[in-house]
Structure 1
C-alpha cells in the first residue's frame, strides 16, 4: 500500500506540474509569440494583396490629373469604377482616396468627400511611398462614422504611383476592413495552439510518467528481490538450525520436511533417499499426503522421467503445471487440477543422496522460478545433514563393531591361552604317563620272554603289550604335537605326513562311519617342509573334515606331482569331504582369523587360518572349493 501511495502521489504532482507548464507555455506562446507573428503574417498578406490590386487598377485606369482639382462628377464616377471591386470584398466597410494634400477626393461615403485629415500619420507614411497596415480600435475622428458598427478596424493605406519612372505618389487609397475575420483567425490559431499544447503536455506527462513508472517498477523489482533474498536467507538459516539440532536421520528428514513446507507456505511434500543397490527411491519422510499415497510410494523405481532428470541433472526442476507428472496422476483425483511442484535433489559432495518433492494438491502452486537457487541450497543443506548422519551412524556402528570385536578377540585370546595351557598340560600329562607306561611295556615284554608258548597267561600278557604299544604311539604323537620347535625344513614324504594325521583321528572316523579313501601318487617327490608344522596343518584339515560329516561320509585324500608350462613343479594335495559344505558368501572369509561357522564351544576359527599361514610360510598355495550341502575340497600346492 505505501508503494501504491507513492505512485499515486507522483502521478498527481506530475499532472499538476505539467498543467502549470502547459498553461504558462500556452499563455506565453499564444499571447506573446504566436499572436504577434500570426497577426503580422496575416496583416502583411492583406497589405500585399490590397497594394497589388490598387496599383494594378490605378495604373491601368487612372491618370495623375485625376488627383488634381477640380473634382467633377466624371472624376467621381471614374474612381467608383476603378475601386468598385475593392468595395465588394468581404469585410471591407469603407474606402477613401486622398490627394497629395490629405483631402478626401473620393469615398464610398459621399459625406466624407472634401474632408482633410492631415494629422493621420498612416497617411503621411503612405505618401512617402510605403504601404501601411494597422489594426487598432476605433478612436480617431475619422473613425467616428464606424464606431457604432465595429470595435476594431484593419486599415490599409496604399500609395498610388502612376508614373513608374518618377515614382511620384499621386494619392493614397485608404481601405477600412472589419477585424472580425482576422480576430477569428487569430482566435482559431490560438485554439489550435492550446490544443497542440495540451496534447504535447499530455504526451509529455505520459512519457515522464512512463519513465518514472519504469524506474519505479525496476526499483520495486529490486526491492522485492532484496526482500525475497532476505526471506530466503532467513528461511535457509531456520532450516539450518533444524538440521543442526539432531544426528538422527529420521528426525532430521521429518523436521526439515516440515520446516521447508512452512517456509514455502505449502502443505504437502515428501523426501526419498536413493538406494544405489536397487536404483530405487525409498520414502523416508512425508507430510500432508494421503495414507494410500504413502503406502503406494514406499519405493519408486528411478526410470525415465522427472525423477531421473533431476537425479542426472543434479538441479531442481520447477514445473508450472504437473498434470503430466506420473506420480501426480496416480494419486490425485482426475477431476482436480494439480499445480505443482518442485523436485529438488538432495546432494552432498556432488553426489545425489535422494530427492525432495514439494506437492500442491488441489492446485494453486506458485513457486517462483527465481527461488531455484534457494531450492538448490536447501537440497545441499539437507544432503550434508544426511551425509553427516550417515557418517555418524557408520562411526557408531564401527565403534560397536570394534567393541564387539575387542570383546570377541579378548575371549578368543583367553581361549587360545587356555588351549595353549591345555597343550602344555597335555604334553606334561603325556610325559608323565609315558614313563610308567614304558615300565609296564618293558615288564610285559620281559614277561613274554619268560612265558612259554601255549601257556594260557601268555595271550593275556600279549594283549597287555599290544595295548601298551598303542598307548605309547598315541602318547608319542601327543608329545610331537604339543612340543614347541623352531622352523626347520627337511625333505619329507608328504604321504607319510598325511598318514600320521589320519592316524590321530582314525578311531573317531570308525566311530562315525567315515570312510577314508587314499589316492596317493606313487614315487611322489619329497618336498622341503617343516614336518611338525605340516603335520599340524594336515591334522587341522582332516579334523575339520571329520567335524563336517557328523552323520558319516567319505574323506578322500589325493596327492600328485604337477608342473606348468614354465616347468615349475609342485606337489598337490587334495583333501575332500562329503560334508555340509560352506555357504557361498562365507568362502571369501574362510581364511580370516577367528572366523568360524561352528557352534560356540566347537571351535574359535583359527584352524584354517593356521593352515593358511603354514602353507604360505612354505611358499605354497591353498584354496578351497565348496558348495553348501555338497562337500568341501581343500587344494594345497607345495613347491618341490
Structure 2
C-alpha cells in the first residue's frame, strides 16, 4: 500500500511517526530528569532545615550508642517532625547503627546496607523515592511511597553521624504530576511545531524540486528537439532539401498544424518550403505588410527573436533563422489557439532551433557558392591547362626542332630536361636523370669547369667551353646559360652543345694536308736532284756489266749496284707520285670486278697461296657502279692487300667484302694478322709512318691510299686490336644516275 503513495505522502507519514517518537522520547527523558531534580530540590530544602536544627541542638557525642541524653534527641526530632509531611526521623552513628528512632525497637539496629545511608556516611546527601519496606519498617506501610532523605552530620570537618527523614510523597507527586503534564504538553507542542516547520520546509523543497524536474524535463525535451533538428539538418547540404527536412521535423516536434519557411532573395524573402495546413503565400504577405521581416533584418542576429501571433482560430510563432548576426530566413509554425501559452514558454527553445537551422542554412549556402565557384574554377583551370599544354607543346616543338643538343641540368649536375637531338645522340637510355659529365666526358666525377657553376656566372653571362668524351671520342662545343631564381642565385644551367667531332677531324686533315703539300714539294725537289745522278750510275753500271765476263769477280758487285739503283729509282718514283698526284681518268666501274682484277695482278707478282694465305670473297651482288680511276683504285686495293700479306708472315685469311651501306659502296679488307694498338691506328695514314721499318717499309703506301680515296671523295679508316687482326673499310660515293 505504501508503494502506491507518492513521495509527499510517504514523507508526511514517516515524518509524523518520527516526530511522535521524538516527542515520547523527549517527554520520558525530561520527566525522568524533572523527577530527579524535584526530588533533589525537595531533599535539599529538608536537608538544610535538619542540618540547621542538628547543629544547634546536638554535638558529636550525641551520635554514640547508647545515646547519652535521649530527652535531647526527642526534643530535636520533634522539631524536625514539625516539618510538613515528615513522618519519621532516625539518627545513626558512623557505623550505620540507629542511635535514636521514633520506634524504640529500631535503636541499636544497623541499616548500613541502605544505599542512601552508605552515601550519607561518605559525607554525601542522598534522596530516594521508595515504596518497598523492610520488616523492621512495617510500621510505615500506611504512608505509601515515601521520600527518604539521608543527611550526613559533620562537625569540625569530620563525619560524626547521619540523620534520615521519611517524608510523605503526596505533595511531591502532585507537583511532579503537574510538572510532567507541563513537560508533555511542551514536548507535544514542540513536536507539532517541528513537524509543521519541517513539513513546510520539505514541502517548499518538494515544490522547488518539482519545478526543477519540470524545468529539466522541459530542457531535456528542448535539447532532444535541438538534437533531432541538428541531426535532420546535417543530412543534406542542398538549401531547398535542408529547409524542407528542417521544417517537417520542427512541425512534427512542435505538434503544429503546419508551417512554412522563407528564404532571403533579391532584398526580400520568398517561400522556400511549406508543410501541413497553412497558406504560406498569404502568411508571407501578411508578415511582410506588418514589417516583421524588415524589423528582424534591421535588428540583426542578436535582436531578431521569435514573435507570437494570435487569432481567434489559430496562433503562430515566427522564428528567424539567424547565423552570425544575419537573418537568412524565417520559419512560422501554426497551432490551434489554445497552444499560445505553451508556445510562449517555448520561445527560447524555438530561438535556439532557429539558430541551429540558420547555421546549417549558412553552411549549405556556402557549400552552394563553393560548388559554383568550384565549377568556375575547374573551367578556368581546364582553360589554363589547355593553354599551358599548348604553350608547352609549342615550346617543346621549338625545343625539339633544334638539331643541336640542348639539356637543362640542376646544380647537382643531373639532367632535368633534354630535347630530341640529345635523346637521339645519347640514347638509347633516357637522358633525363643522368649526369651531364657522364654524357659529355664519359666520367663519373663532375668536371672542374662545371663543379663551380654558380661562381662561373658571377657576371650573369654565358660561358663556352670544349669537351671531349674519353669513351666515345666525340668532341662537343658547349655553351652554358645560367637560370637564376628570385634571389639571384643560379638554380639551373641550360647547356647548348654542338658535336664538332667531324669538324675537328677535318681541321686536322687540313693541317695534315698543308703539311703533306709542303712535304710533297720538298720531296719532289729532292727526288729530281737525286734522280739525275742516279740515272747515270745505273746506266754506267749496266754498260760495265756488258763489258765484264760472267766469271769476273766484279760482276757480282756491278749487279748489286744496278739492283740498288733500280730500288732507289722505284722509291724516287713513289716520292714523285706522292708529291705530284696523277690526273684522274674516271669511269663507272664494277667494284667487285676491280677487286678480282687486283687479286689476279697480285697472284702474278706475289703469290698468296705460296704463303699459305687464303682469300675469302663476300661480294654483294647487284651493286651499283662507282666512278673511279681504274689504275689508282687498283693501287689502293693492292697496297692494302700487300700490307695484309706482309702482316701475316705465317699464313692466314684475307676477307674481301662489298656492300651498300647508307648510300655508300663499302669495301672491307680484313686480315687475321697480329693487329695494331691505338697509337698505331692514330698515325697509320701519316706519311713515312711504318711498323715494318726492319723489313724496309717506307711508310708511304697507306698515305697514298688515304690520298687517292680522299681525291675520290670517299672515306677510309682502319679498325684493329692487338691479336684480333685488322679491318680496312673504304667507302666510295655511288652515282645517283647509276642507282
TM-score, with structure 2 as normaliser: 0.38
Q: Which has the larger radius of gyration?
A: 2
Larger relative contact order (CA 8 Å, sep ≥ 6): 1
TM-score, with structure 1 as normaliser: 0.43
